[in-house]
Structure 1
């Protein structure tokens, strides 16, 4: 298994963009729960906390295709540097408003600004892999590695930010996220040798979302994003109901841990079945795997249930990015991949808002019903429209 991944790093420049890209996107697992912990501590309401987190995710989702298109046109470095600096300023503003107990609308305004200036660094790392690797089997392994890297981040990030917020202070997690964003993103930006070339003067082309297969994948990942967003908020409340709020990070790490294990296994295999078939199977397992979560009422069995629920996440995401890479023209690759991030972001926004509201009204255990419904919707939409991704080729 390890040998498949080791071969990737003989590619010139790969170690640099992998390491800096990893550091720069660690905050993606910290900010959602970090905002929930901060706002819930200040306001005492999970509904408000979920709504602010939703606005953050919604703003990010709306801005990601725009920043992706700018990257395709002007290059990664010219876009990432100003966006990273503005993102740090916006998050600082959110903390200042919270500390000053400013009106609630200021939390929404600064949260929206922070989301709008966040960038899809994971998409840009994958675009670099697509640029430096020409062999499809190597690219499959590279995308699998990046998905595993994302899951490593999601294993450690929630526990890390929860520990900082509950043992240091509620601002510590977001402060660390700002530092990691700036250090990682700025270091990534200076690595110009592996940066895909900008396409300043291309033929007028519509957005990749107009491609039917991309539209289908976006709808599926919208529903999956709602699963992720609702789980973040509901699980914090679930741990709080069980008398151990700090265990929320452990529970969320269990979900990501299952995804990380399956991602390592998935990426190490040479698959004979089509991407379309793998995508359908991943979605089906994803929905079935969430069923036990509905039945748990204690932290330890919930951790086990969340681990098994996470097993289908990485394979499904890896397959989705691989399908995008084959469906979208090379000159629009970053924007095309950003549509997955956008869809997940919209879903996270919906899930965070709904999860917080349902938790306040019905309690955390019952609110997980919404999470399962979203997973089921992702599977139904994906299976019903799977013929739209049958064309697995890339237009240059």
Structure 2
């Protein structure tokens, strides 16, 4: 198992750009939860906090594909220098809006600004892997490394932002997220030797994407985004109801830990002949595991439940990447992966908002119905999707 990963990471510059992209992605797991915690700490409702978080995430999703296209045409370094600075500016403006109690829609507008400038280093680092690796079996392992890195981000980020927001000055969590994005983006921009060559507009042509397949995958990604976005708000509210708001980061980290363990194992296994079957089964089980959480009444019970559910996250995501890699033209793989990421980000926004509304009306336990329904809906789409090789 270790040899498989060592061979891939021994590529020149690979370990460095993968590590840099890892900590530059910390805002993915910090900013949304940080906005919820900060707004609630300042007296706002979970509904208001969820809407602000949704505005941030939706803006990031809307601009994600365009940022990826600009990186392809202008080069990653040019884009990373700009979005890193703009992101830090947007978070700073949001903190000022909260501190000065600006009226609606100004805090939301600042959150949107930060979202628009969210560095898409996850997609960019996968493009770097695609550039430096020619062996397709190693590319599968490389994508698994990034899936594992995403889980590390979702283990460290929630704990860090929760601790900083609730135990230090409440603005510290989002300041840390802004610093990680700014410094991480600029550090990755400095690593020019591993970045893919820029492709000017007049030469940027390629075969069409297989939207008959990719469209349903974006919908599945959206369902996963609803699961992830709602879970952050629900767990924060549940631990608050139990009188232990600081436990939210720990529970989210336990959820990500389950996915991390599964990702390490799956990434070292041979690529499955029919990853669509794995995707269908994994997302169905992921959604179903939220059903018992609607009835639990303690934080340890929720932690156990989400840990078990976490075992289905990495297998779902890795199977989806394998499917996309097989079904789209190699020259447009990065764009296709960006669309998948965008679908997931779009799902996070309504997931957070709907979960916040359900929690305000019926309590945190009822909120678990949101990821349950989303997981089942995603499984329906996956089971109705077919690949070109296995209709």
User: Which residue number in structure 1 is paired with residue 219 of structure 2?
Assistant: 219
User: Which residue number in structure 1 is paired with residue 122 of structure 2?
Assistant: 122
| Kept in 2: contact 1:23–1:183 (CA 8 A) | no
- Give the SS at the match of 2:192: coil
1:183-223 Cα offsets, whole Å, 9 max, x none, are 11111011111111222133656984x62211111000101
The size of the alignment, in residue pairs, is 389
Change (3 A) 1:74 1:355: same
What is the distance in 2 between the residues matched to 1:365 and 1:280?
27
User: Which residue number in structure 2 is paired with residue 155 of structure 1?
Assistant: 155
What is the distance in 1 between the residues matched to 2:141 and 2:346?
28
Alignment of 1:32-111 (within 5 A): 32-111=32-111
Give yes or no for the alignment of 1:5 onto 2:25: no
What runs of 5+ residues in structure 2 fail to find an aligned partner? none
User: Which residue number in structure 2 is paired with residue 309 of structure 1?
Assistant: 309
Change (3 A) 1:74 1:328: farther
- Give the SS at the match of 1:30: helix
What is the distance in 1 between the residues matched to 2:28 and 2:318?
18
What runs of 5+ residues in structure 1 fail to find an aligned partner? none
**What is the TM-score normalised by the length of structure 2?**
0.96
| Kept in 2: contact 1:72–1:335 (CA 8 A) | no
Change (3 A) 1:353 1:185: same
| Kept in 2: contact 1:223–1:347 (CA 8 A) | yes
| Kept in 2: contact 1:57–1:345 (CA 8 A) | yes
User: Which residue number in structure 2 is paired with residue 172 of structure 1?
Assistant: 172
- Give the SS at the match of 1:113: helix
- Give the SS at the match of 1:336: helix
- Runs of 4 or more, structure 1, over 4 Å off, are 203-208
What is the distance in 2 between the residues matched to 1:91 and 1:171?
10
User: Which residue number in structure 2 is paired with residue 202 of structure 1?
Assistant: 203
What is the distance in 1 between the residues matched to 2:131 and 2:285?
32
**What is the TM-score normalised by the length of structure 1?**
0.94
User: Which residue number in structure 2 is paired with residue 377 of structure 1?
Assistant: 377
| Kept in 2: contact 1:165–1:172 (CA 8 A) | yes
Larger deviation, residues 275-284 vs 351-360 = 275-284
Larger deviation, residues 354-363 vs 280-289 = 280-289
User: Which residue number in structure 2 is paired with residue 251 of structure 1?
Assistant: 251
Shift of 1:331: 3.9
User: Which residue number in structure 1 is paired with residue 350 of structure 2?
Assistant: 350
| Kept in 2: contact 1:69–1:334 (CA 8 A) | no
| Kept in 2: contact 1:123–1:337 (CA 8 A) | yes
User: Which residue number in structure 2 is paired with residue 232 of structure 1?
Assistant: 232
What is the distance in 2 between the residues matched to 1:114 and 1:203?
29
Larger deviation, residues 275-284 vs 96-105 = 275-284
